[in-house]
Amino acid sequence: MKGLVLYKGKYGATKQYANWVGEKLDATVVEAAALSSLLLQNYDYLVIGSSVYMEKLVLADWLKKNGDLFKNRKLFLFVVCATPSTDKVTQDRIISKNIPEAILANCSIFFLPGRLDLKALNWLDWLLVKFAGRFEKDPMKRKVLLNGINEVKKENITTLIKEIEAFALTDKLL
């Protein structure tokens, strides 16, 4: 089965995960902006990667706009962010705010831990993070906002890869 990985991020974490997923599955990796219905015809499944800023997926508008292209297609969506894996409430809120109902039906969603490199941020993002850090009450989240974090690791894609491989196998057998 042929897979297409589409992604969009800002500072490289999502791109890194997209490239690892592409390597592991021998799938084509392209930036989400390159999507076209013609391109989609050549692939059996889609993996979409997006990072999160102020609880908004950078691909939220793109997902809405291209919803029709994804109808009746199996999607694997990976969301790259700083929200800890234990914070299911925030994860659910990010999903419900950003992913159209029509897409949710055929979509498996994976949260992957991201990277916050304070030195790499543009001045506005830096200011937003510092501001949020000052007012954050949760000590763990506050530490991340004030010091940054790098949780981007290849092993984080293991569950996503397993699920895609299982899907490809079942589809072959049916």
Ligand X SMILES: Cc1cc2nc3c(=O)[nH]c(=O)nc-3n(C[C@H](O)[C@H](O)[C@H](O)COP(=O)(O)O)c2cc1C
For every residue of 46-110, which 3-state class applies, written as one string? EEEEEEEECCEECCHHHHHHCHHHHCCCCEEEEEEECCCCCCHHHHHHHHHHHCCHHHHCCEEEE
Question: What is the Cα–Cα distance from 92 to 78, expressed in whole angstroms?
Answer: 14
User: Cβ of residue 65: shortest distance to ligand X, in angstroms?
Assistant: 20
Residue placing its CB nearer to ligand X in the complex, 19 or 106: 19
Amino acid (1-letter code) at residue 129: V
Which residues here bind ligand X, judged by CB under 6 A?
9-14, 51-55, 80-83, 114-116, 121, 125, 128-129
Residue placing its CB nearer to ligand X in the complex, 1 or 128: 128
User: Cβ of residue 144: shortest distance to ligand X, in angstroms?
Assistant: 9
User: Cβ of residue 145: shortest distance to ligand X, in angstroms?
Assistant: 9
Residue placing its CB nearer to ligand X in the complex, 15 or 70: 15
User: Cβ of residue 61: shortest distance to ligand X, in angstroms?
Assistant: 15
- Close Cβ partners of 102 (under 8 Å, ≥ 6 residues apart): 67, 70, 71
